[in-house]
């Protein structure tokens, strides 16, 4: 069937311009265009003279669309669907069809098969091409690797490349492969080789035993690459270890029982909500095993409502267990909660800070040094056995061994925000020098010039002899500071590489959060491969052009209320 001729052409007159080329002149103004129906259509919608004319004529719509324009429209629509996490069935909805039929009767929407096959493949390849282009332009990158199991129980390993933009590089379905250290190391090696070994300077992983075992294999294969443990994982494990102590576990169990009763028994809460607004507005919080920092939230919520809960316990009409009433009126219970919080709160606060969007590698050593001081101050007053206090000290040392490496000392030394705030030990200073010297050789820089530049930076000489440059570091990231203002210095390439390394795998966690959301929005029929591509497109598009995904691309975790309800339902 021959293609219909667009009505747009009757509003333009063909003519030959000064260069001898055919152009099309608007019948209502003097504008000229080359042969392009889409551009002509856009002009007509904006041309005031045409609008006046059309007001007394037939409506101006796109009745036909050329093949290349149809292809562009399909790609643009598909991109909008993927970027917002919209259902692939959207284009088969009768109201969407009706809307597009009104706007452009000549345009036929792509169906769900097209959106889930060739259009998805095309957009994924386009976006990944952009990802590789950005990686190639970067002086150095870090690879974030994290594994988890999806709702089907399939093993998934996520690879994010920090340039420092956290680009989704690859997601693999491990299927029947066992997550041994050798398998993990081989998979990470494949990613490193794909990127280019000389461009990768660090690997950030979670705290799984198999991941840590893979470190040695990677260091042997790539001596210049430093494996780093996720600081948030390490601190969360520190909380978990402390909470495993018998005294802490007993208090935790009692507190959970109190919160469960308060949350479940509406007949208890409602009568007091009329008399006491604290109970009415209270949201007693339960922790979940995947985030031990929520223990702090639970204890804090109890303390916040202590007065109201005790009034409820004293009431004769309150239908709650005698044991719970006794607990609520027990001063020792509340004292244990307060003192436990003095030990746990600094750890939870450190986790919050290191998982922040603006957190940098140098923050790890600063936070950890501060955390050790706070734990040392709190520990004597915490109601623990002496053997348990000794265990806490050991747990802190294990956490430090996992979280703090020589490259963290180098990052702290090179961060302009910390210049003059010396907290590094002699051993850490020497380890930082070793990292800087090693990287200077790998980057083919003259070590003497690099160390001379470091000396000037540390003593605020030369380029750094002035207040302005130090004030500027409070407004930009350390990476940008070195890459932009200090690019002429021999130390700049090394500082730029070190300070762009992420301190955690939080970027991967945010990416992982979208898997469940996309699956709920799009449907359970998606294969892992399609789901991985949809999420990669969505995340990377929002990195290239922030805000393109709208509010639905915000990677927020579930609300506290929803998390707590899920915990209750699972028990």
Name the CA radius of gyration of the chain, rounded: 30
Cis peptide before 164 (omega within 30 of 0): yes
Averaged pLDDT for residues 378-385: 94
Q: What angle do CA 483, 360, 149 make, to 5 degrees?
A: 120
Residue 393 CA, distance from chain mean position: 31
Residue 568: name the closest of 245, 265, 230 by CA: 265
Q: What percent of the chain has pLDDT over 70?
A: 81
Residues 275-291: what's their mean pLDDT? 45
By the 8 A CB rule, do 240 and 292 touch?
yes
Report the pLDDT averaged over residues 318-331.
Answer: 85
C-alpha torsion 239→241→244→245, nearest 10: -100
**What one-character-per-residue DSSP string does 353-408 give?**
HHTSTT--THHHHHHHHHHHHHHHHHGGGS---HHHHHHHHHHHHHHHHHH--HHH
Smallest CA-to-CA distance from 402 within 244, 241, 290, 246 is with 241
> Residue 570 and residue 550: Cα distance in Å, rounded?
33
What is residue 571's predicted lDDT score, i.e. its pLDDT?
32
Residue 416 tokens, joined: 């302009």
Compute CA 183 distance to the chain's CA centroid, rounded to the nearest angstrom: 26
Which pLDDT score, from 0 to 100, does residue 69 have?
79
Q: What is the pLDDT of residue 553?
A: 36
Residue 314's nearest CA partner among 304, 303, 326 is 326
Domain ranges of the chain: 7-54, 123-230, 236-403, 406-499
What is the phi-psi region of residue 523: left when phi exceeds 0, alpha when psi lies from -120 to 50, beta otherwise? left
Count CA atoms closer than 13 A to 258's CA, side-chain side. 30
Q: How far apart are CA 350 and CA 371, in angstroms?
A: 7
Closest CA to 4 of 57, 94, 67, 88: 67
Q: What angle do CA 564, 207, 528 make, to 5 degrees?
A: 70
φ/ψ (deg, to 5) at 472 = -65, -30
| Closest of 462, 234, 460 to residue 355, by C-alpha | 234
- Gap between the Cα atoms of 262 and 259, Å rounded: 5
Q: Give the distance from CA 142 to its chain's centroid.
A: 15
Number of alpha carbons in the 13 Å side-chain half-sphere of residue 411: 26
Q: What is the pLDDT of residues 117-157, one digit of tens each?
A: 999 999 999 999 999 999 999 989 999 988 776 656 667 78
Per DSSP (E only), the strands in 392-539 are: none
pLDDT of residue 515: 63
Give the pLDDT score at 566.
Answer: 30
DSSP 485: I
Tell whether the model's pLDDT for residue 57 goes beyond 60. no
Q: Is the confidence at residue 275, as pLDDT, over 50?
A: no
Mean pLDDT of 59-65: 53
Burial class (CB in 10 A: 0-12, 13-18, 19+), 232: buried
How far apart CA 252 and CA 256 sit, in angstroms, is 6
Helix (H, G, I), strand (E, B) or coil at 157: strand
Element (H, E) at 72: helix 67-84
Percent of the chain with pLDDT over 90: 50
Could you tell me if 551 and 97 are in contact, meaning their C-beta atoms sit under 8 angstroms apart?
no
pLDDT of 181 reads 84
* Helices 386-403 and 231-243: angle between axes, nearest 10 degrees: 170
CATH topology of domain 123-230: Nucleotidyltransferase; domain 5 (3.30.420)
pLDDT, tens digit, for every residue of 206-239? 877 788 888 999 999 999 999 999 999 999 999 9
The pLDDT value given to residue 50: 65
Is residue 550 pLDDT above 70, yes or no? no
Tell me the pLDDT tens digit for each residue of 411-437.
Answer: 999 999 998 788 999 999 999 999 999
30 pLDDT band, cuts 50/70/90, is confident
Task: Give the pLDDT confidence score for residue 567 in this predicted structure.
Answer: 31
Task: Choose among 281, 280, 283: nearest CA to 298.
Answer: 283
DSSP reduced 3-state for 186 = helix
At residue 468, the pLDDT reads 92
CA 100 to each of CA 91, 103, 106, 306, 374: distance values in angstroms, whole numbers, following the listed order: 10, 5, 9, 58, 62
Residue spans of alpha helices (H) in 244-293: 246-264, 266-273, 277-280
Among 278-282, 377-381, 465-469, 486-490, name the one with the lowest average pLDDT. Answer: 278-282
pLDDT on residue 177: 65
Rounded distance between C-alpha atoms, residue 283 and residue 285, angstroms: 6
Tokens 């440059």 locate to 469
At 166 the three-state DSSP class reads: strand
């Amino acid at each position: 069937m021959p293609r219909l001729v667009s009505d747009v052409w009757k509003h333009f007159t063909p003519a030959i311009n000064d260069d001898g080329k055919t152009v099309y002149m608007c019948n209502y103004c003097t504008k000229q265009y080359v042969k392009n129906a889409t551009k002509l259509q856009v002009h007509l919608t904006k041309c005031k003279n045409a609008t006046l004319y059309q007001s007394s004529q037939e409506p101006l719509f796109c009745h036909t669309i050329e093949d290349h324009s149809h292809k562009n429209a399909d790609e643009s629509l598909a991109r909008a669907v993927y970027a917002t996490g919209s259902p692939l069935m959207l284009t088969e909805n009768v109201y969407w069809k009706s809307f597009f039929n009104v706007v452009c009767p000549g345009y036929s929407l792509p169906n769900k098969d097209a959106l889930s096959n060739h259009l998805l493949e095309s957009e994924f390849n386009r976006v990944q091409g952009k990802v590789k282009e950005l990686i190639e332009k970067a002086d150095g990158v870090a690879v974030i690797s994290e594994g988890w199991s999806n709702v089907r129980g399939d093993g998934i390993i996520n690879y994010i490349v920090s340039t420092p933009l956290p680009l989704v590089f690859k997601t693999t379905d491990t299927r029947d492969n066992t997550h041994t250290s050798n398998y993990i190391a081989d998979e990470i090696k494949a990613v490193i080789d794909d990127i280019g070994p000389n461009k990768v300077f660090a690997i950030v992983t979670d705290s799984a035993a198999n991941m840590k075992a893979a470190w040695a294999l990677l260091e042997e294969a790539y001596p210049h690459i430093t494996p780093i443990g996720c600081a948030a994982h390490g601190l969360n494990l520190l909380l978990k270890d402390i909470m495993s102590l018998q005294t802490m576990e007993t208090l935790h169990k009692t507190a959970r029982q109190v919160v469960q009763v308060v949350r479940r028994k509406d007949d208890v809460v409602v009568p007091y909500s009329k008399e006491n607004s604290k109970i009415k507005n209270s949201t007693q919080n339960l922790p979940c095993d995947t985030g031990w920092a929520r223990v702090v939230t639970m204890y804090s919520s109890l303390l916040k409502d202590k007065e109201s809960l005790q009034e409820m316990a004293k009431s004769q009409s309150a239908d709650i267990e005698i044991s719970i009433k006794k607990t609520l009126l027990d001063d020792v219970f509340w004292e244990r909660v307060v003192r436990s919080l003095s030990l746990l709160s600094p750890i939870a606060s450190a986790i919050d800070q290191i998982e922040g969007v603006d957190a940098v590698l140098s923050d790890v050593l600063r936070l950890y040094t501060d955390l050790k001081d706070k734990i040392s101050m709190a520990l004597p007053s915490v109601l623990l056995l002496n053997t348990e206090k000794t265990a806490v000290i050991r747990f802190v040392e294990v956490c430090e061994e996992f979280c703090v490496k020589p490259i963290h000392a180098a990052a702290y030394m090179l961060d302009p925000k910390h210049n003059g705030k010396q907290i590094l030990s002699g051993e850490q200073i020497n380890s930082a020098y070793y990292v800087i010297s090693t990287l200077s050789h790998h980057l083919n820089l003259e070590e003497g010039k690099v160390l001379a530049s470091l000396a000037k930076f540390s003593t605020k000489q030369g380029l750094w002899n002035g207040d302005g440059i130090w004030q500027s570091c409070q407004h930009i990231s350390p990476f940008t500071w070195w890459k932009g203002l200090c690019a002429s210095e021999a130390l700049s390439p090394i500082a730029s590489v070190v300070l762009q390394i992420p301190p955690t795998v939080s970027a991967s966690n945010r990416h992982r959060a979208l898997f469940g959301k996309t699956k709920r929005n799009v449907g359970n029929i998606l294969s892992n491969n399609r789901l991985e591509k949809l999420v990669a497109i969505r995340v990377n598009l929002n990195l290239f052009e922030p805000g393109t995904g709208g509010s639905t691309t915000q990677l927020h975790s579930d609300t506290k209320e929803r998390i707590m309800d899920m915990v209750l339902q699972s028990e």
